[in-house]
Structure 1
Amino acid sequence: MVLSLFERTIARRYLLPGRNEAFIALVAGISVGVVMLSVAMLVIVMSVMNGFRAELLDKIVGLNGHAIVQAYGERLDNWEDVLRDARETPGVVSASPLIEKPLMASYNGRIAGVLVRGNTQEDIGNLAPNLVAGNLTELSGGAKNVALGSRLAANMGLRVGDTITLYNPEGRTTPFGTMPRQVGYRVAAIFEVGIYDYDDQFVVMPMRDAQQLLLMGDTVGMIEITTTDADRVEEILEPIRRQLDGRAVVNTWKTINSTLFEALQVERVAMFFALSFMVLVAAFNILSSLVMLVRAKTRDIAIMRTMGATRRSLLKIFVTTGFTVGALGTVAGLVLGFLVLAFRQQIVKVIEVVTGQNLWDPSIRFLSTLPARVDPLEIAGIVALALVLSFLATLYPAFKASSTDPVQVLRYE
């Protein structure tokens, strides 16, 4: 919509009301503020929800892959053949054997339930970015060294160099019954993945040591698989699922964590729907401010009509005025939203200090820090929503102004 010099001048004049029009200026300012806050809230909430999903997916996939091939009875026979077939399946990036078993652990009189994971040396090396203390290279087969999650180590008072005792209830059989197998392992490293449950339970050891502890011989419990596309994991692994039908089950990240990710998706949609009403309220603010402006400028509109201003010109002037208010609020909202996202962790800490409440308990939130990930397409959708509603809010006042009859207005002037 191209404006003439006359139309731009009048629109600019109406955007900056004079001293005698302070109330109109206040209403227009409130309209800008409401649009700003609504856009900022949408940007912040949707980015945080996206961050939750992305961070959880990245961290879960980093430890478990996109899918797990798990044998019935917790022992996968001929696992080398299954591993080879999985690696040769189109769309599979990597596949590796895995042992995972819940056990009990003790140290210095403290007892805790742990999840023992037997990994290959390559998978153990992938924990390097999450290393907090110690050295992962010391986790070699037969060395009886393990790596612990940071919260597990803190809860049990363990440090690098200490010895943790693991108990396997399936021990050796004696005339007095089955004696639990207990083995001491030196803590060689401490890691922090960032997911509370993992950091609070995981004990990682080489595959060979896990097989010896669990008396599994040369077998493994499962195979973890990573694919080229996490969202198409079922389609990619369908040949493997058919091949292993009756021998093992293929669980994807979607089924393993279905409750969590479905809850996040429902909450994400609900929050977007609820916060979109704030943008609608902002549009009504723009509409009300324009209606007040049209009523205050009725005489000016009549004079412009008698001087030759067309209905189209008046329509363009008031549409431009209202749309500019919405555009300014949208830009300000984007800036505010990105600033809050950039300093989100510091803001959470300040609120915690002021209120004295723990707003981010990792045991409840799963993640150690507040995540955020900006989706350009979503931001574009939020901007489009705000601008379209702002434009629609200008139509009624603009048509009302353009239909003003100068004869009726100026009859008694």
Structure 2
Amino acid sequence: MIAGRYLLPGRGEGFIFLVASISLVAVALGVAALIAVMSVMNGFRAELFDKILGLNGHAVIQGYGGRIPEWQPLMAKVRQSPGIVSATPLIEQPLMASYRSRVEGVLLRGMTLADIHNTPVIANNVKMGTLKDLQPGTNNVAIGARLAEALGATLGDSIALISPDGQVTPFGSVPRIVSYKIVAIFEVGIYDYDKAFVLMPMENAQTLLRMDGSVGIIELVTKDPDKIEAIMEPVRTVVGGSGVTTDWRSMNAALFQALVVERTVMFWVLSIIILVAVFNILSSLIMLVRAKSRDIAILRTMGASRSSLMRIFVTVGTLIGALGIGLGLVLGFTILAFRAQIVSGVSALTGANLWDPSVRYLTDLPSKTDPVEVIGIVALALLLSFLATLYPAWKAANTDPVQVLRYE
């Protein structure tokens, strides 16, 4: 009851109430910033992980010289290895694509029809056209949305794919140029892929690149990507000298390591906001103890124990922190709910593109809230708020009523 009354300003205590209110708002801002930023970082990592591994698998077997001639028996053996869920043959080759006067570097990907339709990252993100028109023997392709923008091409247009492995003539080597019709445009959400991918049936890619039935890569999906090292050990034995095995950690090590470092640094930097708010709680409680010294002395003369006085001021400070945490939770989840609109609004006001897909990899601003992380943030804020109350509470408990009431 006393702690509740001390939360409200008394006569001449407006400044103390103002400092306490600032402390509450500061705690709220710190908690909201931590929740929003950590959720966006988690979402960024999860989206990158899902989309990159959805396109490239958990590991790949690459043939020497870009070719695996006897890929069917090798793939059958790999599929029997423990922990391997699926093995998919692929052809990937950097080429050039031209449309009218524009030329772009592209990554040609050849897949079987079944694998094209069973890859959710591609099949579920077709923006225009249909993948059903990709048939062996037809000069049809599907391209990424950003590549279509860069070339200025759209559905139904024909682009030319330029392969340096062309014919040798008396005048030198002539690149091979083949025209393909765009029958589908997809957007997986990763800028680099949407800007480069040209998708066609496996047979068409083998014909274009003159691979004589070979494939370039066998893509592997495992039961648990976090245990990729243990799962790949027997696979490397099976592959032997047929190719080189590479897992997702090696292929994207720098990117995911940078995300871990950035996430850790952001957590501790934003925690400083809560720490500053806690110092405000400390200063407001010290001023409150000085303002209430007469009340404290009277309570002591009435028989109040030191521990009860400490509990009063610990409760006051902790309640300020708890109210700030509650407000911060509401504010943080509100920011996450309207994050796209907030980014668009700030970009419109400042004239700066805050979320450039060419820099951020992903097309949209992602978010994924971890309940355990939210509980940790709340616990950290509560702990710091509690620790900030100990010194003022101790000073209040050690107030000498004789000194305070001597001239009353």
Tell me, yes or no, whether TM beats 0.5: yes
Determine if the alignment matches structure 1 residue 171 to structure 2 residue 163.
no
* Counterparts of 1:387 and 1:242, CA distance in 2: 53
User: Which residue of structure 2 lines up, in the alignment, with residue 143 of structure 1?
Assistant: 138
User: Which residue of structure 2 lines up, in the alignment, with residue 362 of structure 1?
Assistant: 357
- Following superposition, the deviation at residue 118 of structure 1 comes to 0.3
Which AA in structure 1 matches 2:19? V
* Counterparts of 1:322 and 1:343, CA distance in 2: 32
Determine if the alignment matches structure 1 residue 100 to structure 2 residue 95.
no
Q: 1:9-408 residue pairs with structure 2 within 5 A?
A: 9-125=1-117, 126=119, 127-408=122-403
| Residue deviations 1:265-309 (CA, integer Å, cap 9, x gap) | 111111111111222111111111111111110000000111121
- Following superposition, the deviation at residue 83 of structure 1 comes to 1.2
Which AA in structure 1 matches 2:326? V
Does the residue aligned with 1:143 lie in a helix, a strand or coil? coil
| Residue deviations 1:342-390 (CA, integer Å, cap 9, x gap) | 1011001101111111111111111111111111111111111101111
Quote the RMSD (CA, aligned, Å).
Answer: 1.3
TM norm structure 2 = 0.97
Unpaired segments of 5 or more residues in structure 1? 1-8
State the aligned residue count: 405
- Tell me, yes or no, if the aligned pair for 2:77 and 2:238 is still in contact at 8 Å: no
- Following superposition, the deviation at residue 19 of structure 1 comes to 4.3
Does the residue aligned with 2:189 lie in a helix, a strand or coil? coil
| Residue deviations 1:198-223 (CA, integer Å, cap 9, x gap) | 11110000001000000001110001
Which AA in structure 1 matches 2:406? R
* Counterparts of 1:214 and 1:109, CA distance in 2: 24
- Tell me, yes or no, if the aligned pair for 2:110 and 2:202 is still in contact at 8 Å: yes
Does the residue aligned with 1:178 lie in a helix, a strand or coil? strand
Does the residue aligned with 1:158 lie in a helix, a strand or coil? coil
* Counterparts of 2:11 and 2:299, CA distance in 1: 22
Which AA in structure 1 matches 2:381? A
* Counterparts of 2:83 and 2:366, CA distance in 1: 29
Which AA in structure 2 matches 1:238? E
- Tell me, yes or no, if the aligned pair for 2:89 and 2:219 is still in contact at 8 Å: yes
Identity %: 60
Which AA in structure 1 matches 2:220? I
Which AA in structure 2 matches 1:25? F
Unpaired segments of 5 or more residues in structure 2? none
- Of 86-95 and 108-117, deviating more is 86-95
| Residue deviations 1:8-45 (CA, integer Å, cap 9, x gap) | x1010011122421111101101101111111111111
* Counterparts of 1:330 and 1:246, CA distance in 2: 59
- Of 211-220 and 73-82, deviating more is 73-82
